[in-house]
Amino acid sequence: MSWQDKLREVEPYVAGEQPKIVNMIKLNTNENPYGPSPKIKEVLTSLDIDRLRLYPNSDAVDLRKELANYYGLEEEQVFLGNGSDEVLALIFLTFFNGKEPILFPDITYSFYPVYCELYQMAYKLVKLDRDFKINLNDFMQPNSGIIFPNPNAPTGLLVDLDFIETILKNNPDSIVVIDEAYIDFGGTSCVSLIDKYDNLVVTQTYSKSRSLAGIRLGIALGSKEAIRHLYDVKNSFNSYPVDYVAQQICLASILDDQDTKAKCAKVIKTREMTKTRLKELGFIVPDSYANFVFVKHPDVEGQELFTALRQVGIIVRHWNTKRIDQYLRISIGTDEEMERMINFLEEYLNK
Amino acid sequence: MSWQDKLREVEPYVAGEQPKIVNMIKLNTNENPYGPSPKIKEVLTSLDIDRLRLYPNSDAVDLRKELANYYGLEEEQVFLGNGSDEVLALIFLTFFNGKEPILFPDITYSFYPVYCELYQMAYKLVKLDRDFKINLNDFMQPNSGIIFPNPNAPTGLLVDLDFIETILKNNPDSIVVIDEAYIDFGGTSCVSLIDKYDNLVVTQTYSKSRSLAGIRLGIALGSKEAIRHLYDVKNSFNSYPVDYVAQQICLASILDDQDTKAKCAKVIKTREMTKTRLKELGFIVPDSYANFVFVKHPDVEGQELFTALRQVGIIVRHWNTKRIDQYLRISIGTDEEMERMINFLEEYLNK
């Protein structure tokens, strides 16, 4: 017997790297190429640093109120956490404690199985079809919870609200989590279904469309009852996950929604240009509604392209994982960054 | 069957309230009466808000390096989290998975049993003696882990390093966590024991002595092996718990240690004055080494004093809990705030 015998066995999630390479083009973690609302500058310069000696408001009431207003929900339907990952981690812990397995796609956000192992919860992978589409029937089996991103990561594919509603209707005894990290880049949010289905929990993040990955704000939206249970678990873990400065910054961001919308529109335009150009180079390009594209070339290995790009300082994401090892996930940068990447690929493929 | 059957049953921790009362004297959550290092102002005004679009460094390398330097440890011995509560929550999850109960005092930080219930871990309360002292022998029984604050909360009592070393020696097969949230107010840290005992994990916080409760930084220190396991669990929960702005602010704080030391010295001086004055009023005052005192009056009920203080806008903490329901925990404010509180008590007791 030793203290090592009392450890929790885990295989942690590996986030996309944050390399320090001069002049690199960083297209590996789906960050927004444009900075956040300029109004945040004012928040920081006028902030009373003596206020930092006090704990933040543990429910972030002011921010929560504005978010409720933004989503057309009641305050009690809004949950805030330290980034979407924490929100998801707490959701698994709160809602997915049944005996049946948790269901999610075999190709999806790779943090989901990590949460399951952390909490020693059983899960079952639902196999996407050849085109990476979800087969609706796969979510019609006994389960302790369902989760998938919409649009899905890393494929970028979107399902519509009818699809989600069918899953909700057929799973009244499980919480169904729709992870909308990328919804602002062209999808339709299912927040409108919340008041109809008390088993729906929607998550969103300020790391992508809001350009605030550096700040960590994640959101969960749902029925008052579900959100209350989520707060109970959060309050059994950490009373103050969203700090005072983060609350002020995110408040400035939500109040400058025009800025977000304009930047999302630019990203979408660049994504569509990128899709077109990559198709012209022979790439297979599933129809992404996110701020990334997930592509493969029929003639060149994914690993080879990943390495070639990296050698010229263009960092994308590649997984050595069955079914997707030929693909690259490329975040959408500025027009100029994408041009440089596409031009490099064009030259490389011509060689 | 319903989704409610799949919920995790918890009774959440209740943090001290953050009331909004004009001119109140807030002595209920052990915040520092003095603001943080003035150098933080500069950090905020010069911060490049475009940097916020990127994820923070997930290991907070720059901050971690400075902290290692500060504590005289290797970087790999330093763990950072989103406040001490998150660090503790992750410590329980990482290290306390044995079959025997976890041991901690019956009078202590009330978050410990909450973590145990959250993770469905068994615990056993070790009864403090009449003077709130820990009986060393109580920690000589089979266990899956040991944790207590030093100085203890809410009593403020301190144990010395020999005491801690005896526990470490007698429990080589368990992680022993010493929660040093209040150590900078007069205690001697046991960080010096880390290189001798690989089963020791020490936690500290930036919320008290560093005046940064609003920012949320918690620290764990231990052997490289223990800290690596803690990171594995953290990376199975949330990749980026400490945001970019928090990293920069805490870096400025650690580099201005003189400021912290000066403010701690002031708090200690005020605490000693408070102890003396309260004793003069007939209060029983255990010898606190923290930034609070834990006191009771032989003639007046704790609840009554709590209510009377609150009516004049002086907020302290009181628990309706066996053994301590006659006590008030009073955070140390400025000299002026304490004078006002003591003067009120004096008048009240004379009536």
Residues A274 and A332 sit within 8 Å (Cβ to Cβ): yes
| Residues of chain A contacting B10 with CB distance shorter than 8 Å | 232-233, 236
Q: Which residue spans of chain A are classified as CATH 3.90.1150.10? A: 17-35+257-350
- Whole-number mean pLDDT of chain B? 97
Which residues of chain A are within 8 Å of residue B44 when distances are taken between CB atoms? Answer: 44-45, 47, 49, 245
Stretch(es) of chain B classified as CATH 3.40.640.10: 38-256
Q: Which amino acid is at B176?
A: V
Contact: A215, B52; criterion CB under 8 Å: yes
Residues of chain B found within 8 Å of residue A34, distances taken between Cβ atoms = 53
Contacts 24+ apart (CB under 8 A), A278-282: A278/A342, A278/A345, A281/A342, A281/A345, A281/A346, A281/A349, A282/A349
pLDDT tens per residue across all 351 residues of chain A: 899 999 998 999 988 888 888 889 999 999 999 999 999 999 999 999 999 999 999 889 999 999 999 999 999 999 999 999 999 999 999 999 999 999 999 999 999 999 999 999 999 999 999 999 999 999 999 999 999 999 999 999 999 999 999 999 999 999 999 999 999 999 999 999 999 999 999 999 999 999 999 999 999 999 999 999 999 999 999 999 999 999 999 999 999 999 999 999 999 999 999 999 999 999 999 999 999 999 999 999 999 999 999 999 999 999 999 999 999 999 999 999 999 999 999 999 998
- Other Cβ atoms less than 10 A from the Cβ of A97: the count is 18
On the 0-12 / 13-18 / 19+ scale of CB atoms within 10 A, B160 is: exposed
- Whether residue B230 contacts residue A109, with contact meaning beta carbons closer than 8 Å, is answered with no
Which chain A residues have a beta carbon less than 8 Å from that of B249?
Answer: 52, 245
The per-residue b/e assignment along A225-234, b for 16 or more CB within 10 angstroms, e otherwise, is ebbebbbbbb
Q: Express each pLDDT in B172-215 by its tens digit.
A: 999 999 999 999 999 999 999 999 999 999 999 999 999 999 99
Residues of chain B positioned with their CB less than 8 A from the CB of A263: none
Q: Which helix (H) or strand (E) holds B203?
A: strand B200-205
Task: Inform me whether the C-beta atom of residue B137 falls under 8 Å from chain A C-beta atoms.
Answer: no
pLDDT tens, residue by residue, B5-61: 999 989 999 888 888 888 899 999 999 999 999 999 999 999 999 999 999 998 899
A20 interfacial to chain B (CB closer than 8 Å): no
pLDDT score of B314: 97
Residue B276 has what pLDDT? 98
Cα A219 to chain centroid, rounded: 11
- Distances from the Cα of B100 to the Cα of B65, B146, B188, B225, angstroms: 36, 11, 30, 22
Kindly state whether A172 is in contact with chain B, defined as any CB-CB distance less than 8 angstroms.
yes
Beta-carbon separation of B10 and A232 below 8 A: yes
Separation of CA A339 from chain center: 25
Threshold 0.90, pTM exceeds: yes
CB-based contacts of B36, cutoff 8 Å, min separation 6: A49, A50, A52, A53, B210, B211, B212, B249, B253, B259
**Minimum-distance CB partner of B34 among A1, A47, A53:** A53
Contact B6 A174 (CB under 8 A): yes
Q: Is B11 touching A (CB cutoff 8 A)?
A: yes
Provide mean pLDDT across the span B126-139: 97
Q: For the domain made up of A17-35+257-350, give the CATH fold.
A: Aspartate Aminotransferase, domain 1 (3.90.1150)
* Amino acid B59: pLDDT: 86
User: Nearest CA to CA, how far is B230 from chain A (Å)?
Assistant: 9
What ipTM was predicted for this assembly? 0.96
pLDDT at B19: 86
Query: In Å, how far is B146's CA from the nearest CA of chain A?
Result: 11
pLDDT of B188: 98
**Rounded to an integer, what distance in angstroms lies between the CA atom of residue B122 and that of residue A184?**
44
* Residue A218 near residue A79 (C-beta atoms within 8 A): no
Q: For the beta carbon of residue B258, count every other beta carbon within 10 angstroms.
A: 9
Give the span between the Cα atoms of B2 and B5, in whole angstroms.
Answer: 5
Fold of domain A38-256: Aspartate Aminotransferase; domain 2 (3.40.640)
Residue B254 · residue B63 · CB < 8 Å: yes
